[in-house]
Amino acid sequence: MADSTERVGLCAAMLDRLSGPGNAVGMTVVRSESTPPPARVRDATEGTGQAGLRVPALSPRQVRRLVWRRRPDTVVLNCAGPVVEALSWSLRSVVRRYRPLVVSALQPLAVPAVEGEWLHRSRVDLLVAYSHREVAEYTTLGEKLGMRGEVGLASLPLGHRDPAEAVRRDRVVYAARPGVPHTERGRQNALLALATLAGNRPDLEVVVHLEQGAGGGPHLEAWRSLVASGRVDGRALLFRSGRLSAQLDRARGLVAVGSAAVLEALARRVPSLVLTDFGVGAAQGNAVFEDSGLFGTLADVRATRFRRPSREWGERNHFHPPGHDDWVERLHDLLERGRRGELS
């Protein structure tokens, strides 16, 4: 069960790992303020076992009724913390003598570990994280908080690709997020640096990629303000939405303050730059990139200086070998313990 476009993709990847002879899997979308429309659900499940299948959007009450009726062995709740908390409490007591295993995955870039993420999942049997660092931090925090759930490791469905030699790398992509930078001036400074880059390098196409569902967003408003004041040429930057992968196919580099877009770019061997001009921390979404070698400034943007991460950082943060994943094994072990009545 998912409640956003990003979590639909995570669910589909997890179900692919659990599919097999004798197993029946299925997905629903939980209705919320961020419920994705059917078109985005289809887009997020493309290339997975859920592609082309109907994914119903259900209210929390309908979710509970579905579980009562189908009684699955495992319920995966890839939803916002409060939704996971509400559903996990009710799903574990819906029918006498029936108790499903409850699993919940963190969103990517979930470090530093936050108490609220664990507290919302106090009734979860298995918390799934996507890097060795996340596993270590949430295991330590869980022990401190007295949580009973285990923490397992999974790989992000990043679509690793080697760049095609014949593709011309003539694009710089800025992954814009609605709330970062936090001020209008900060957003304008970032856009001015990109416009300077576009002016200095007419051989490069400079694209501002807007998050799906964000509409024009504050970055487009900031750009229109700069154009109206005559500070920039309105044709200097291109604004695009849709799947980020469509922009990365020709990217020479990616710029971001900090987001999962950096992980997707690195998975596609696209050099990246994580900006520190607007601060470093959880609010900026870039704390995880400390010691990666990816940090830089707007001066680096203007000079087209992009970077590749250190191997040590990569293996600890989201780019570990798939053989390190253990969440499926932990899930099966917990199922066996549940059948023996060993789970509370």
Phi/psi of residue 238, each to 5°?
-110, 135
Runs of H (alpha helix) within 101-175: 115-119, 132-145
Q: Is residue 73 part of a domain?
A: yes
Please state the domain count of the chain. 2
* Statement to judge: residues 17 and 35 lie in one domain: yes
* Statement to judge: residues 291 and 229 lie in one domain: yes
> What is the chain's pLDDT, residue by residue, as a tens digit (344 residues)?
999 888 999 999 999 999 888 889 999 999 887 788 888 899 889 889 999 999 999 999 999 899 988 999 999 999 999 999 999 888 766 556 778 999 999 988 888 899 999 999 999 999 999 999 999 999 999 999 999 999 999 999 886 555 555 478 899 999 998 889 999 999 999 999 999 999 999 999 999 999 865 556 899 999 999 999 999 999 999 999 888 888 998 999 999 998 889 999 999 999 999 999 998 887 788 989 999 999 999 999 999 999 999 999 999 999 999 999 999 999 999 999 988 888 87
* Statement to judge: residues 200 and 110 lie in one domain: no
Has this prediction a pTM greater than 0.75? Answer: yes
* Statement to judge: residues 302 and 327 lie in one domain: no
* Residue 109, pLDDT score: 87
* Residue 216, pLDDT score: 63
- CA dist., res. 277 & res. 265, Å (int): 21
To which residue do tokens 């303020």 refer? 33
Q: Is residue 76 part of a domain?
A: yes
* Residue 139, pLDDT score: 97
* Statement to judge: residues 98 and 192 lie in one domain: no
Q: Is residue 163 part of a domain?
A: no
Q: Is residue 166 part of a domain?
A: no
- CA dist., res. 32 & res. 34, Å (int): 5
- CA dist., res. 208 & res. 6, Å (int): 20
* Residue 91, pLDDT score: 77
- CA dist., res. 181 & res. 27, Å (int): 35
* Residue 40, pLDDT score: 87
Half-sphere exposure of 147 (CA within 13 A, CB side): 24
* Residue 116, pLDDT score: 94
Rounded to a whole number of angstroms, the CA Rg of the chain reads 21
* Residue 266, pLDDT score: 95
Other Cβ atoms closer than 10 A to 16 = 15
Q: Is residue 278 part of a domain?
A: yes
From the centroid of its chain, how far is CA 44? Answer: 12
* Statement to judge: residues 284 and 303 lie in one domain: yes
* Residue 290, pLDDT score: 92
Parent domain of 80? 5-158+321-339
* Residue 179, pLDDT score: 84
User: Three-state secondary structure along 247-311?
Assistant: HHCCEEEEEECCCHHHHHHHHCCCCEEEECCCCCCCCCCCHHHCCCCCEECHHHHHCCCCECCCH
* Statement to judge: residues 64 and 195 lie in one domain: no
Q: Is residue 227 part of a domain?
A: yes
**Sheet hosting strand 74-76, strand order edge to edge:** 74-76, 101-105, 126-129, 150-153
- CA dist., res. 68 & res. 157, Å (int): 31
